Amino acid sequence: MSRTILIVEDEKAIADTLAYALATDGFTPHHVTLAQAALDFLHSPDVQTPALIVLDVGLPDMNGFELCRRLRQFSNTPVIFLTARNDEIDRIVGLEIGADDYVSKPFSPRELVARIRAVLRRLEAGQSAAANVANEKKSSFELRADEARIAYYGQILALTRYEYLLLKTFIDRPQQLFSRAQLMDLVWTDASDTLERTVDAHIKSLRAKLRLINEQDDPIQTHRGMGYSLSLS
């Protein structure tokens, strides 16, 4: 299946050139012009998570660095920054907040596509090693993001919207400890006054649904006073 590359760039000519080069190379480009549109796209349960994000530093509604910092709170998707300023400080800031590479404008679209491929290759080499370790347990969950459904031991779970988003957050980052506050930020993005006990209540209902399918397994770990994680061990 063709991999999606999210392009966040307000200059249409640049985005079009890059989208064309990506499509020619077998990727599926998805272009947005605003940081908020990028966040909406990444939070949507209906779309496939992009393989990589090309992020312009100078966006009209939010600095690209700030956008990267925000998306790093819920996403590991690699980021390549685009900037008009060939500035060493920018480069260091970008890499410190979790970017994978950095390209200065004007750039050659073919060179950028080659850099995208290099980042994806590096990532896949690291992942296949990790996957070999986690594979056995990870297979108990099957995320079908395009259908917004999750199967557990081969059975589709009947989940509410927030249960789905909560479990997807855990599956995307196995072993990671999430505090209740982080889960409220990541999952209840469109609710105004979520309480910590809302998180606990959803964890409880999720656990009950998982237990119905497999009573032996309790993959959601409670870390007293700290939060929750999904265990793959």
Q: Which is nearer to Ca ion, 91 or 149 (CB)?
A: 91
User: Cβ 56 to Ca ion, closest distance in Å?
Assistant: 5
195 DSSP 8-state letter: -
Burial label, 91 (beta-carbon count in 10 A; 0-12, 13-18, 19+): middle
Interface with Ca ion: number of residues (CB under 5 A): 3
The Cβ-side half-sphere exposure at 119, using a 13 Å CA radius, reads 23
The verdict on 172 binding Ca ion (CB under 5 A) reads no
Contact residues for 141 (Cβ-Cβ < 8 A; gap 6+): 150, 151, 152, 167, 171, 219
**CB 63 → Ca ion: shortest distance, Å?**
10
Taking CB under 5 A as the criterion, the residue among 39, 41, 56, 68 binding Ca ion is 56
Q: Is 16 in the site for Ca ion (CB under 5 A)?
A: no
Nearer to Ca ion, 107 or 174 (CB): 107
* Contacts of residue 198, Cβ cutoff 8 Å, sequence gap at least 6: 184, 188
**Does residue 58 bind Ca ion (CB under 5 A)?**
yes
Write the binding mask 62 to 81 for Ca ion: x where contact by CB under 5 A, - elsewhere. Answer: --------------------
Q: Which is nearer to Ca ion, 54 or 187 (CB)?
A: 54
Residue in 3, 10, 37, 43 binding Ca ion, rule: CB under 5 A: 10
**Separation of CA 178 from chain center:** 15
Pairwise CA distance, residues 4 & 151, whole Å: 23
Q: How far is the CB of 114 from Ca ion (least distance, A)?
A: 22
Q: Please, which of residues 24-53 interact with Ca ion by CB under 5 A?
A: none
Residue 33 sits at the vertex; the CA angle it makes with 111 and 57, to the nearest 5 degrees, is 60
**Matching residue, tokens 């850099």:** 115
Nearer to Ca ion, 61 or 96 (CB): 61
Residue nearest to Ca ion (CB): 58
CB atoms within 10 A of CB 132: 9
Residues of this chain that bind Ca ion (CB under 5 A): 10, 56, 58
